Amino acid sequence: MADNVFVDDNANLWISGFPVGLDFFKYTKNLSYPCPSQVINIQLCAPQSTGEVYPSYELREVYSNTGHELKGSTTAAVYKRKLVIGTAFDNLLYCDKAF
């Protein structure tokens, strides 16, 4: 279940969310419930001479956990190769060398 999308300076998409959407609803009722977190990065390839804007892309998972490190990620933002992952009710996570 994707929550928020961040677009970086290179037009890459950073999508944060919950691998199992139902877990987030359980987490909102009980903040000790270990709601998993996930961040996906989608790098769009350059437009082609044929006019097709984004003919292909590269998708990679840059962060994932079971909810014991970070509960219910709601947003991810990148700046100068550093990643910050935010949540609705828990702490945030700062990754100094994200990729």
DSSP 53-79: S---EEEEEEEEE-SSSS--EEEEEEE
pLDDT of the residue at 98? 57
Dihedral sign of CA atoms 37, 92, 87, 14 in order: negative
- Residue 22 DSSP one-character state: H
Overall number of domains in the chain: 1
pLDDT of the residue at 5? 95
Per-residue pLDDT of the chain (99 residues; tens, 9 = 90+): 899 999 998 889 999 999 988 999 999 999 999 999 999 999 988 777 777 766 788 999 999 999 999 999 999 999 888 999 999 898 999 988 656
Domain that holds residue 86: 2-95
